[in-house]
Chains A and B, each alone.
Chain A
Amino acid sequence: MENSVLSPVAVQTINLTRHFGDKVAVDQLNLAVAEGEFFGFLGPNGAGKSTTINMLVGLLRPTAGTALIHGVDIWEQPLQAKQQIGVLPEGLNLYERLTAREFIRFAGTMYGLPADLVEERTTELLQLMDLEDDADKLIVDYSTGMRKKTALGAAIIHSPRILFLDEPFEGIDAISGRAIRSVLRQLRTRGTTIFFSSHILEVVERLCTRVAVINDGRLVAEGSMTELREKAHAGADATLEDLFIRAVGASVEETGGLSWLQES
Chain B
Amino acid sequence: MAAGVLTEERQRPGRLRTLLSLRARLTWRQYTGERGRIVAVLLILIIMLPLTLGLGVASAIGYLRLPEPLPATLLAVVLAGLWVAWIIIPLTAFSLNEGMDMTRLLIYPLSRRELTGAMLLGTLFDPPTYFMLPLFLAIVVGWAASPALLVLVPALLIAYVLMILTSQIVITMLGGVLTSRRFRDVFVAVSAILGMSCYFIQRGFAALISRFVEPDEITSLQLLPSLRWLPPGSMAQAIVSAADGDWGTALLWLGYGLLWLLLLAWVWWQLSTRLITGGGFLLKGRPRARQEERARPRGASRSYGWLPADLQQLMAKELRLIWRTPQRRIGFLQGFLFPLLMGGYALIGSGLPQEVPPWIGLFLPIFALFSAWIAGQNGLGMEGKGLPFVLLTPVSRRRFWLAKGIVLFVLTSAPALLVGLALLAIQPSWQSVAGLLSVPGIVLITLGISNLGSIFFPYPVQTEGRQIRSNARGGCISGLGNGVLMPTVIGLACLPPALFLAGGQLLSTPWLGLVGGLFSLVYGAAIFVWPGVVVAGRLLLQREAELVAATSPLQGG
Contact indicator A95/B386 (Cβ below 8 Å): yes
Contact of A93 among B324, B549, B552 (CB under 8 A): B552
Q: Do A138 and B388 have beta carbons less than 8 Å apart?
A: no
Tell me which residues across on chain B come within 8 A of A60, comparing CB atoms: 545, 548-549, 554
Q: Is the CB of A141 within 8 A of B385?
A: no
Least CB distance, A149 to chain B, in whole angstroms:
15
Interface core residue of A20, A51, A110, A133 (most chain B CB under 10 Å)? A110
Q: How far is the CB of B427 from chain A (nearest CB, A)?
A: 42
Query: Does residue A256 face the partner (Cβ distance < 8 Å to B)?
Result: no
Q: B557 — which chain A residues lie within 8 A by C-beta?
A: 45-51, 90
CA distance A91 to B320 in the complex (A): 22
Q: Is the Cβ of A138 less than 8 Å from the Cβ of B301?
A: no
Q: Find B556's partner among A51, A61, A89, A110 (CB 8 Å cutoff).
A: A51
Beta-carbon nearest neighbor of B546 in chain A: A61
CB atoms of B393 and A82 under 8 A apart: yes
A119 partner residues in chain B, CB cutoff 8 A: 300
Encoded as 1 (CB less than 8 Å from any B CB) or 0, chain A from 104 to 145 comes to 011101111011001100000000000001111110110000
Q: Does A98 contact B (CB under 8 A)?
A: yes
Q: Does B211 contact A (CB under 8 A)?
A: no
- Closest B residue to A62 by beta carbon equals B545
Cβ of A102 < 8 Å from any Cβ of B? Answer: yes
| B 313-326 binary contact with A (CB < 8 Å = 1; else 0) | 11011001100110
Establish whether residues B321 and A83, one from each chain, have CB atoms under 8 Å apart when the complex forms.
no
- In the bound complex, do residue A83 and residue B394 qualify as a contact, i.e. CB atoms below 8 Å apart? yes
The answer to whether B394 and A112 have CB atoms under 8 Å apart is yes
Q: Size band of the A side of the interface?
A: 35 or more
Which of chain A's residues 24-69 have a Cβ closer than 8 Å to chain B? 25, 45-51, 54, 57-61
Instruction: A229 to B170: give the CA distance in the assembly, Å.
Output: 63
Residue of A20, A80, A102 contacting most chain B CB atoms (<10 Å): A102
- Give A122's nearest chain B residue, CB to CB: B300
Given contacts A95-B317, A141-B181, contact A110 B390 (CB under 8 A): yes
A137 lies within 8 A of B292 (CB): yes
Query: Residue-by-residue, is B199-243 near A (CB-CB < 8 Å gives 1, otherwise 0)?
Result: 000000000000000000000000000000000000000000000
- Are the CB atoms of B317 and A137 closer together than 8 Å? no
**What does DSSP make chain B's interface, helix, strand, loop or mixed?**
helix
A138 to B385 alpha-carbon distance, docked (Å): 14
Does B306 interact with chain A (Cβ within 8 Å)?
A: no
Closest-CB distance, B301 to chain A (whole angstroms): 6
Q: How many A-B residue pairs have CB under 8 A?
A: 146
Main secondary structure of the interface of A (DSSP, over half): mixed
Q: A228 at the A/B interface (Cβ < 8 Å)? A: no
**A115→B311 CA distance, assembly (Å):** 12
Q: Is B288 an interface residue (CB 8 A)?
A: yes
- A79 CB within 8 Å of chain B: yes
Kindly state the separation between the CA atoms of A83 and B288 in the bound complex, as whole angstroms.
Answer: 36
A95 and B303 within 8 A (CB): no
* A41–B13 alpha-carbon span in the complex (Å): 51
0/1 interface trace, chain B 292-332, chain A, CB 8 Å (1 if under)? 11001110110100000110111011001100110000000
Give the distance in Å from the alpha carbon of A93 to the alpha carbon of B388 in the complex: 6
**Residue A242 is within 8 A (CB to CB) of chain B in the complex:** no
0 or 1 for each of A219-230: is its CB under 8 Å from B? (1 = yes): 000000000000
Interface residue ranges, B against A (CB under 8 Å)? 181, 288-289, 291-293, 296-298, 300-301, 303, 309-310, 312-314, 316-317, 320-321, 324-325, 383-395, 464, 541, 544-546, 548-549, 552-557
Q: Which 7 A-B pairs have the closest CB atoms?
A: A95-B386, A110-B393, A97-B324, A61-B545, A50-B557, A93-B388, A109-B313
Q: What would 8 A/B residue contacts be, using CB atoms closer than 8 Å?
A: A59-B392, A78-B394, A90-B557, A95-B385, A102-B320, A105-B301, A110-B310, A136-B292
